[in-house]
Structure 1
Amino acid sequence: MSTLRRTFGVDEAGRGPILGPMAIAVVALESRQAGALCRAGVVDSKHFGAGPDACELRARLAEQIRSKAIACEVRLVEVEEIDHYTWRGQLNALERRVVTELLRELAVAHGDRIVCDGATLFSPLRALFPWLEARDHGESVHTAVAAASIVAKDARDRAFASIAARYQPEFGPIAGGGYLNAATRRFLDAYQARHGGLPPEARKSWGNKDAANLSLA
Structure 2
Amino acid sequence: MPTLNPQPKPHFRREKSLAAKGLWPIAGIDEAGRGPLAGPVAAAAVVLDPRNLPKGLNDSKLLPPYVREQLFEEIMRRAIAVAVAFSSAAEIDRINIRQATLCAMRRALAALSVSPTYVLVDGNDLPESLLCAGETIIGGDGSSLSIAAASIVAKVTRDRTMRRLCQHHPQYGFSQHFGYATKAHRAAIELHGPSPFHRMSFSPFVIRY
Assess same fold via TM > 0.5. Answer: yes
Distance 2:23 2:80 in 1: 11
- 2:30·2:151 contact (CA, 8 Å) conserved in 1? yes
Kindly, what percent of the aligned residue pairs are identical?
31
Unaligned runs of 5+ in 2: 1-21
Larger deviation: 76-85 or 64-73?
76-85
- 1:25·1:75 contact (CA, 8 Å) conserved in 2? yes
- 2:87·2:103 contact (CA, 8 Å) conserved in 1? no
> Match for 1:76 among 86, 91, 95?
86
Aligned to 1:158: 160
Aligned to 2:27: 8
Distance 2:176 2:136 in 1: 33
Give the SS at the match of 1:31: coil
- Pair 1:47 & 2:57 matched: no
Q: Give, as a single letter, the amino acid of the residue that structure 1 aligns with 2:48.
A: L
Distance 1:55 1:94 in 2: 26
TM-score calculated relative to the size of structure 2 = 0.78
- 1:17·1:177 contact (CA, 8 Å) conserved in 2? yes
TM-score calculated relative to the size of structure 1 = 0.75
TM-fit CA distance, 1:171: 6.2
TM-fit CA distance, 1:163: 2.4
Q: Give, as a single letter, the amino acid of the residue that structure 1 aligns with 2:201.
A: S
Q: Give, as a single letter, the amino acid of the residue that structure 2 aligns with 1:97.
A: C
- Pair 1:211 & 2:191 matched: no
Distance 1:173 1:65 in 2: 26
1:148–1:31: structure 2 CA closer, same or farther, 3 Å change rule? same
Distance 2:78 2:174 in 1: 35
- Pair 1:24 & 2:48 matched: no
TM-fit CA distance, 1:172: 6.3
Q: How many residue pairs were aligned?
A: 186
Distance 1:163 1:7 in 2: 33
1:136–1:171: structure 2 CA closer, same or farther, 3 Å change rule? closer
TM-fit CA distance, 1:29: 1.1
Distance 1:171 1:12 in 2: 23
Unaligned runs of 5+ in 1: 49-53, 193-197
Distance 1:108 1:172 in 2: 39
Aligned to 2:195: 199
Per-residue CA deviations over 1:30-61 (Å, capped at 9, x if unaligned) read 32233xx1x2x11110002xxxxx33322221
Distance 2:132 2:172 in 1: 49
- 2:27·2:45 contact (CA, 8 Å) conserved in 1? yes
Aligned to 1:195: none
Aligned to 1:145: 147
1:174–1:156: structure 2 CA closer, same or farther, 3 Å change rule? closer
1:142–1:159: structure 2 CA closer, same or farther, 3 Å change rule? same
Aligned to 2:106: 100
Distance 2:60 2:198 in 1: 24
TM-fit CA distance, 1:166: 3.0
Higher helix share: 1
